[in-house]
Structure 1
Amino acid sequence: MRAAAADALAWTDSRRADFALGEDALASDGEVDRSWKPLGELAQVCATVARLTEPADPLHARARGLLDFAWQETHEGELFLRLQRLEPFATYPLEVYSVFASAGLRHPAFEQAGAVVARTRGWRLTEQDPTRRLGVLRAEERCGIHRFGQTPPELPQTWLGGLPEPWTFGRDAGYALTHVVFHLADWGRDASALPPDLAVYLRDWLPPWLDTCLEAGLWDLAGELLAVAAIAARTTGEEVPADDWRRLLAARGPSGEVPLNDRDLDELAAGPGRDGDRYFLHHYHSTLMAVFAAVLAVTRPAGRAAPAAAGRPGGQGAPS
């Protein structure tokens, strides 16, 4: 898996220009999902990899280089301040900025302006789904606006927090539950923050959900579920599910990139090739999730050795 992480991160680095912010990054009609979202996701994964690896590790050097690139794309945080002035009640600037803040890259003027807005009733009463709200609360904590707390009041309102009937799992629920775990555990920084009832629920039901996604060729969601399993395993020392990883890695492209799903593979086969923008958009997120999950799987908190065996004892899943 370490080699898989290295290949996937190398492919990501080779597409660095595709993560760059365009001239429309501050436009009112700009496509946030095609600009700030990819850059923020790149920064989040690279911040995690840099945090979990030693400075002498080639993975660390590459991740840190990409993180620094992403920071430079924001003009060292200045663009966040400009965004905040243009859209003071938009949450995505704070959410993306908080990733950099968690890695020690800060812009004090933006944080001050964001804190002023965050004290308003208008900000606190912005209507958001509970999973997104968890993400905003985590972003505020990273920027020193407030404390996250062990059990945010929004948690029981999320799909995962409600401990739903496992057969109600679907694609949308899957993405929601992975992000609840990511937010609670601060993207692997604090796996112990998972409430015990959620950990038990995931232990029982994550394996069949993961198997369903792998069977359907939903590689992006399978990667996120593998990441969830890896976060949980960081507190238990469970072994890495090698069979599940083999199924995911078998879907990789020639340079280590991972497609979103099997349907996209069929459509892209008739396209312009691996260098186009469409190819990037259908691979970058799932490839980043593979890096994230693999690094979580092969590293352990201080004092705990990484698992050496394959298999899935007790039906546990692993990170992607």
Structure 2
Amino acid sequence: MTTAVDTRQVRDLAVAALAWVSAHRGDFALGADALTADGPVDLTWKPLGELAQTCVSVRRCTPPSDPLHACASDLLDFAWQQTGRGELFLRLQRTEPFATYPLEVYSVFAGAGLRHTGYEVAAGAVARSRGWRLTEHEPTRRLGLLNAERRSGIHRPERFAQALGRTWLGGLPEPWTFERTSGYALTHVVFHLTDWGRTAQDVPAELAAYLTDWLPPWLDTCLDAGMWDLACELLIVAASLPQPIDAATLQDPWRRIARVQHASGALPLMASDPARTHEADPEPSFVHGYHSTLMLAFAAALTQGVPV
């Protein structure tokens, strides 16, 4: 990486963010409500799955000798233990056989080599049914589900290219139609295409060229609006392209993120007052800080590991 981005500063952001996550690992723990059919998935399985995904991604872009790698490995082991080493996925499968979130979360662990044979057999049987294939999903979610199936060893004839063409980003929309919802959709399209930054070569050339042109102004827009969470996701995308965004272009975005990271390492989802986006807000609560802090850790680890 060139000196246009301060690699030491970017690394410090990742270290501080993972330190906050480690200090709050208990907040990621699953409670009894995680196994009920009407349980609060967004407050139980979603945070745990995002913790696991961030840890897997950080491990991939750091050498085993790196303390960041060790920290991510420790947190990933914690997350796997929370699932009963995969046993809870089988219990969820029996409770909600056509729910997709168990497979989506499980696939994160499977991609890291942590597997539960019994669950994979049960999930595979359901995934081969017409009911599973015909269930309607938003296009970006469909792409994510296909990636989850691939990670878990489930192979169906539906193609990534077909699913990609139905997404907002896949249609190469007018750049001025970008807004918060489409922003989150486009970042996840790239996450699913590249298996969260692992296979940058899987981004089609036309899509990569489009993102190279328009991601920088979109990133500036998000930073101006104090959308720290979405800005970090866009920084992940920037480092996940076949030819990563020029480092000089990312110098100011990283400096702005550094200014608003809390001393504890946490990063708020959004600025409390978009008119004052140059100042750090008070430390956010777990619910309002865990995702943005995880995305910051991932973005910083991936950026420092990508040669530009």
- Tell me whether the two structures share a fold, i.e. TM-score over 0.5: yes
For structure 2, the residue ranges without an aligned partner over 5 or more in a row are 1-9, 276-281
3-state secondary structure, aligned to 1:83: helix
Aligned to 1:31: 40
Q: How many pairs align?
A: 292
Q: Which position in structure 2 is the counterpart of 1:238?
A: 246
Distance 1:227 1:148 in 2: 29
Query: 1:265 offset after TM fit, Å?
Result: 9.7
The 5-angstrom pairing of residues 106-145 of structure 1 reads 106-145=115-154
- 5 Å-filtered alignment, 1:287-298, equals 287-298=293-304
Match of 2:289 in 1: 283
Of 220, 228, 231 in structure 2, the residue corresponding to residue 211 of structure 1 is: 220
Aligned counterpart, 2:75: 66
* 2:103 aligned with 1:94: yes
Aligned to 1:223: 232
Question: Which residue is 1:315 aligned to?
Answer: none
Q: Relative to structure 1, is the Cα distance of residues 151 and 91 closer, same or farther in structure 2, using a 3 angstrom cutoff?
A: closer
Go from structure 1 to structure 2 and tell me whether the alpha carbon gap of 1:198 and 1:148 turns closer, same or farther (over 3 Å shift): farther
Which stretches of structure 1, 4 residues or more, deviate above 6 A after TM superposition? 147-150
**Deviations, residues 171-230 of structure 1 (Å, cap 9, x unaligned):** 000000000000000001100100011001101111111000000000000110111111
Summarize deviations over 1:128-160 as a string: whole Å, max 9, x none.
001000000000000111179984311111000
% same residue: 62
Q: Could you list the per-position Cα deviations for residues 251-304 of structure 1 after superposition, in whole angstroms to 9, with x for gaps in the alignment?
A: 1111111100012899xxxxxx85xxx70011100000011111111113xxxx
* Matched residue SS, 1:132: helix
Shift, 1:239, TM fit: 2.1
Matches within 5 A, 1:141-220: 141-146=150-155, 151-220=160-229
Relative distance call for 1:122 and 1:151 in structure 2 (3 A) is closer
Give the residue type in structure 2 aligned to 1:280: F
RCO (CA 8 Å, sep 6+): is it higher in 1 or 2?
A: 2
CA distance in structure 1 between the partners assigned to 2:159 and 2:95 by the alignment: 33
- Matches of 1:64 and 1:199, distance apart in 2: 31
What is the one-letter code of the residue matched to 2:286? Answer: F
SS in structure 1 at match of 2:35: coil
- In the alignment, the residues of structure 2 paired with residue 46 and residue 102 of structure 1 have an alpha-carbon distance, to the nearest angstrom, of 12
Measured against aligned partners, the alpha-carbon deviations of 1:39-74 in whole angstroms (never above 9, x if no partner) come to 000000100111221111100000000000000000
> Do the aligned partners of 2:224 and 2:274 also contact (CA within 8 Å) in 1?
no
Aligned mates of 1:298, 1:284 — CA distance in 2: 21
Quick one: structure 1 residues 187 and 132, their matched pair in 2 at CA, closer, same or farther if it must change by over 3 Å? same
TM-score calculated relative to the size of structure 2: 0.91
State TM-score, norm by structure 1.
0.88
SS at match of 2:267: coil
- CA distance in 2 between partners of 1:185 and 1:37 (Å): 20
> Does structure 2 conserve the Cα–Cα contact (< 8 Å) formed by 1:50 and 1:63?
yes
SS at match of 1:231: coil
